[in-house]
């Protein structure tokens, strides 16, 4: 007798194989039978007739680090079929920290990841942080080592290169993170402090991670996407580690062609290469991301007073000339005083302030303590299609969640949009290829053993969905609409979602890298 029996579905097993009819028997946290099981009995039977049964989807790029502590069941994600969240991307997160830096990171990440100073409970290492999530969330989670956290622990905030002693401390922290179970090292080379890291410094840091783990990077997009990807490949090649590019897109078809040509002719021949992107062209990040890097010289808490400096405002104003403020909306602000601006454009805000753009936006950052999130409506979704269709692409939603804002719909729609738009409407790839990009491929790429494939002995992370109705409903005007078409989601053999409703189960585990 099984604990759970899924009967009558078409199985897409996560290996990029065509669907096949099969029942699935589950005992405890494992799949124990796949095949024709007409006489089987179970404590719980799920009818999957007319549905696909797939491995649970893996989100390779999230900003759920803080929200999983505050809201253990992220219905926005589970309603799409996501069973595993990869955390601590872009080189910035809540661990590792010490008795000083934890305040800096909670302040800096406020418009990205949700935690406030009152949420700190004393964690310091990555292991501390992830153990707090283990068994307390609906989904599994796994983590990378955020390089900016490591760098600032070893060197303090600032532009100077690590000296020998600091390099040793960076090595120790990276090795500790890998021993704690991290999947690799993440960077975000346009973000605080790591924006000062040189290529040579990053090569050395990745060597400290080798021979296991992946270098995952938000490249130096400010230097040009292709140049940033080339630097990442150089880092991976010289350090001897795989390379994964976060949220890879292009500004126009010519740039997309050049990037894909480089991937196909150089990158995949020099390193084990992969990338993620969400199936939307518009993007989202913090307003403070647009500031000149110099503001981070002394850390996030010291940055706020610098916003009054006329020289910095002048440099910020020149940079803003390349940003069409009428196409950038305010997604969320930290205070209720400015909440009525959520959903309005920066151009609207600047016009109402009757100040030059840099002055108006610096004043907004001051009034909000830097806590301002944006959505950039730049480009048509068709521009991401060549990246989604590429053989080295896997799913990363880059979702940013706040319950009371006007956020990007990717948080609520990325996985099902790939299925609805990418398969059913555009025909970019088959159902089995779409599923592979969200299951077997990321599981293999990031060392998630016995995950991402439906097979006897593997963990029972599963999603049952209707290929005819699966649809993303979240839009830029209504970003909080849940996806439809997912009948049930299981994590480690336990049902966490059924018929659109969350269950009280919290079977999520801290998943560790397995070579």
pLDDT tens column, 308-350: 999 999 999 999 998 999 999 999 999 999 999 999 999 999 9
Beta strand residue intervals within 381-485, DSSP E: 393-395, 462-465
Examine residue 454 and state whether it is found in any structural domain, yes or no. no
Q: Which helix (H) or strand (E) holds 140?
A: strand 140-143
Give a yes or no: residue 505 inside a domain: no
Do 116 and 237 belong together in one domain?
yes
Residue 387 lies in a domain: yes
Is the pLDDT confidence value at 515 over 80? no
Q: What is the pLDDT of residue 136?
A: 97
Residue 262: which CATH number? 3.20.20.140
Question: Distance between CA 278 and CA 347 in Å, rounded?
Answer: 26
Q: Is residue 476 part of a domain?
A: no
* Residue 167 placed within a domain: yes
Q: Which helix (H) or strand (E) holds 312?
A: helix 310-320
Could you say which of 443, 469, 490 is where a domain stops? Answer: 443
CA distances from 229 to 225, 247, 308, 394, 480 (A): 6, 11, 35, 16, 33
What is the chain's mean pLDDT, rounded?
A: 97
The per-residue pLDDT for 427 is 97
* Whether residues 216 and 84 fall in one domain: yes
117/226 same-domain check: yes
Q: Please say if the pLDDT value at position 114 is more than 90.
A: no
Extract the tokens encoding 245. Answer: 């590019």
Does one domain contain both 118 and 255? Answer: yes
Distances (CA, A) of 413 to 76, 104, 452: 8, 32, 20
Residue 163 sits in which domain range? 57-281+381-443
Residues 166 and 266 in one domain: yes
Angle subtended by helix axes 346-353 and 357-367, to nearest 10: 100
Structural domain total, the chain:
2
> Are 232 and 140 found together in one domain?
yes
- 191 in the same domain as 331: no
**Distance separating alpha carbons of residues 416 and 6, to the nearest angstrom:** 21
Residue at 409 is within a domain: yes
> 273-298 pLDDT, tens per residue?
999 999 999 999 999 999 999 999 99
HSE at residue 288, side-chain half, CA atoms within 13 A, is: 28
pLDDT at 244 over 80: yes
Which conformational region is residue 234 in: left (phi greater than 0), alpha (psi within -120 to 50 degrees), or beta? alpha
Among 486, 481, 446, smallest CA distance to 141 is for: 446
- The residue from 324, 353, 376 where one domain ends is 376
Q: Specify whether 290 is located in the same domain as 235.
A: no
Q: Identify whether the C-beta of residue 144 lies closer than 8 Å to the C-beta of residue 89.
A: yes
Q: Is 38 within a domain?
A: no
Is residue 458 a part of any domain in this protein?
no
* Same-domain status, 215 and 269: yes
pTM strictly above 0.95: yes
Domain end (from 415, 443, 471): 443
Element (H, E) at 448: none
Same domain (yes/no): 180, 204: yes
Instruction: Indicate if 112 and 217 belong to the same structural domain.
Output: yes
Q: Examine the domain organization and report whether 215 and 97 are in the same domain.
A: yes
């Amino acid at each position: 007798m099984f604990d759970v029996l899924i009967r009558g579905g078409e199985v897409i097993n996560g290996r990029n194989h065509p669907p096949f009819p099969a029942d699935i028997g589950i005992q405890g946290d494992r799949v124990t039978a796949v095949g024709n099981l007409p006489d089987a009995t179970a404590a719980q039977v799920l009818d999957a007739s007319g549905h696909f049964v797939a491995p649970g989807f893996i989100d390779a790029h999230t900003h759920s680090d803080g929200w999983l502590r505050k809201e253990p069941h992220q219905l926005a994600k589970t309603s799409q079929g996501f069973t595993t969240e990869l955390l601590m991307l872009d080189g910035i997160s809540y661990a590792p920290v010490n008795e000083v830096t934890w305040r800096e990171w909670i302040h800096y990440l406020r418009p990205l990841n949700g935690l406030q100073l009152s949420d700190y409970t004393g964690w310091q290492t990555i292991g501390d942080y992830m153990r707090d999530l283990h068994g307390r969330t609906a989904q599994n989670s796994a983590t990378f080592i955020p390089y900016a956290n490591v760098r600032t622990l070893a060197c303090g905030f600032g532009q100077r290169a690590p000296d020998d002693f600091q390099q040793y401390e960076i090595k120790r922290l990276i090795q500790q993170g890998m021993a704690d179970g991290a999947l690799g090292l993440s960077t975000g080379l346009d973000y605080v402090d790591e924006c000062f890291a040189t290529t040579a410094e990053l090569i050395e840091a990745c060597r400290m991670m080798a021979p296991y783990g992946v270098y995952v990077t938000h490249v130096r997009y400010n230097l040009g996407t292709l140049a940033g990807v080339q630097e990442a490949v150089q880092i991976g090649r010289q350090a001897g580690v795989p390379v994964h590019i976060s949220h890879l897109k292009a500004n126009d078809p010519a740039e997309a062609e050049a990037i894909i040509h480089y991937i196909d002719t150089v990158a995949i021949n020099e390193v084990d290469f992969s990338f993620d992107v969400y199936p939307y062209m518009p993007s989202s990040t913090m307003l403070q991301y647009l500031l000149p890097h110099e503001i981070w010289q002394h850390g996030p808490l010291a940055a706020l007073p610098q916003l009054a400096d006329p020289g910095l405002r002048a440099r910020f104003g020149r940079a803003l000339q390349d940003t069409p403020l009428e196409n950038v909306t305010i997604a969320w602000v930290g205070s209720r005083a400015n909440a009525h601006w959520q959903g309005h454009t920066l151009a609207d805000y600047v016009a109402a302030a009757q100040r030059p753009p840099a002055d108006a936006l610096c004043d907004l950052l001051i009034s909000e303590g830097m806590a301002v999130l944006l959505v950039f409506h730049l480009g048509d979704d068709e521009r991401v299609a060549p990246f989604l269709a590429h053989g080295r692409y896997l799913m990363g939603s880059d979702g940013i969640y706040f319950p009371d804002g006007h956020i990007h719909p990717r948080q609520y729609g990325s996985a099902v949009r790939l299925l609805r738009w990418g398969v059913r409407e555009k025909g970019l790839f088959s159902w089995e290829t779409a599923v592979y990009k969200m299951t077997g491929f990321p599981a293999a790429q990031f060392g998630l053993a016995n995950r991402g494939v439906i097979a006897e002995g593997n963990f029972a992370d599963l999603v049952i969905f209707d290929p005819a109705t699966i649809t993303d409903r979240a839009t830029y005007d209504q970003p909080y609409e849940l996806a439809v078409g997912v009948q049930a989601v299981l994590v480690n053999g336990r049902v966490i979602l059924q018929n659109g409703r969350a269950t009280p189960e919290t079977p999520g585990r801290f998943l560790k890298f397995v070579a």
